[in-house]
Copies of this chain bind each other. A is one copy, B any other.
Amino acid sequence: MNDLNAFVTRSPRELRMAFRDGSLDLTTSGLAPDYVQANLVALPAEFAFDFLLFCQRNPRPCPLVEVLEAGDTEPKSALGADLRTDLPRYRVWRNGELVEEATDARTAWRDDMVSFLIGCSFSFEAALLAANIPVRHIECSCNVPMYRTTLRCIPAGRFSGPLVVSMRPIPGPLVAAAVQISAQMPHAHGAPVHVGDAAALGIRDLGDPDYGDPVPIGDGDVPVFWACGVTPQAVVVASRVPLAITHSPGRMFITDRRNDYYTSRGLQSDLPAPH
């Protein structure tokens, strides 16, 4: 536990180097809490337009932090990093089947891979906690519950599938604050997609999530549902592309970009730079 506390104070770069040399393999929840973490999806160039179009059409589940050019493995959001080695753990998918988990993706990587870094809910969970809004699955030290819904993502080319949501029980008086805080973080899935009745999303039993762990819903808690970063991974798998490399669940890429870089469009994070 002393060791884990030591990890929390490490910089994104220090953590990435520890992941690179294989000395560390753990979930990144709570690590470098001020920094944007990202889901990784890497695909052969042939599939890149369709997948980028899918993300463009579905920004809630697939908020793009950065898209690299074909063959590029060093993100602008983490100069000096290498996406093939600097995550704790990877999953390699062939024709929609999981064929390998590894702490290094160089063997499976192809020269024409296009890497997509997609925002993750760790960013807004830190913001909720900072506003004294309880996050039940963190209180329980378990994973957030996630559910396949009957909402369909907007298809793009070869990619289609259902929206996957995460659920956090929020005390009724704090729901409005949770909405406003997460709405300010579109890079981390933004505002909830639904508040209240799970059946409206086609979810039969909140106690039986499709991914992650069930979480108790306290008296006065309201289920609040956010679009989830599992969506793009599920969609890529369902499309049976010949090769996809993703992060392993919970083991994200940690960027050098602070969460407040994106807090709102008002910060003009998306402006061109001077010559």
Chain A positions within 8 Å of B, measured between CB atoms, are 45, 48-49, 52-53, 56-61, 64, 67, 69, 114, 150-154, 156-157, 163, 183, 186, 190-191, 193, 202, 265-266, 268, 270-275
Contacts of A270 in B (CB 8 A): 58-60
User: In the complex, what distance in Å separates the CA atom of A69 from the CA atom of B52?
Assistant: 12
User: In the complex, what distance in Å separates the CA atom of A266 from the CA atom of B264?
Assistant: 13
User: In the complex, what distance in Å separates the CA atom of A56 from the CA atom of B49?
Assistant: 12
Contacts of A268 in B (CB 8 A): 191, 193
| Chain B residue at minimal CB-CB distance from A58 | B272
User: In the complex, what distance in Å separates the CA atom of A33 from the CA atom of B26?
Assistant: 54
Could you tell me if A274 and B56 are in contact, using CB atoms closer than 8 angstroms? no
Question: Given A49-B48, A190-B265, A265-B190 in contact, is the A272-B56 Cβ separation under 8 Å?
Answer: no
User: In the complex, what distance in Å separates the CA atom of A193 from the CA atom of B271?
Assistant: 7
Contacts of A191 in B (CB 8 A): 265-266, 268
Could you tell me if A265 and B186 are in contact, using CB atoms closer than 8 angstroms? yes
User: In the complex, what distance in Å separates the CA atom of A273 from the CA atom of B150?
Assistant: 9
Question: Given A183-B265, A266-B183 in contact, is the A275-B193 Cβ separation under 8 Å?
Answer: no
Contacts of A156 in B (CB 8 A): 69
Give the contacting residue for A272; candidates B153, B186, B271; CB below 8 A.
B153
Most B-side CB within 10 Å, residue of A49, A57, A151, A154:
A49
| Closest 4 pairs between A and B when the two form their complex, measured CB to CB | A49-B49, A151-B272, A163-B272, A150-B275
Contacts of A275 in B (CB 8 A): 150-152, 202
Could you tell me if B152 and A273 are in contact, using CB atoms closer than 8 angstroms? yes
| Chain B residue at minimal CB-CB distance from A155 | B69
CB distance from A133 to the nearest CB of B (A): 19
Contacts of A190 in B (CB 8 A): 265
Could you tell me if B154 and A273 are in contact, using CB atoms closer than 8 angstroms? yes
| Chain B residue at minimal CB-CB distance from A66 | B57
CB distance from A232 to the nearest CB of B (A): 13
Contacts of A49 in B (CB 8 A): 45, 48-49, 52, 114
User: In the complex, what distance in Å separates the CA atom of A154 from the CA atom of B68?
Assistant: 12
Contacts of A52 in B (CB 8 A): 49, 52-53, 56
7 new A-B pairs (CB below 8 Å) besides A60-B270, A69-B157?
Answer: A49-B52, A56-B64, A57-B67, A60-B272, A152-B272, A193-B271, A202-B275
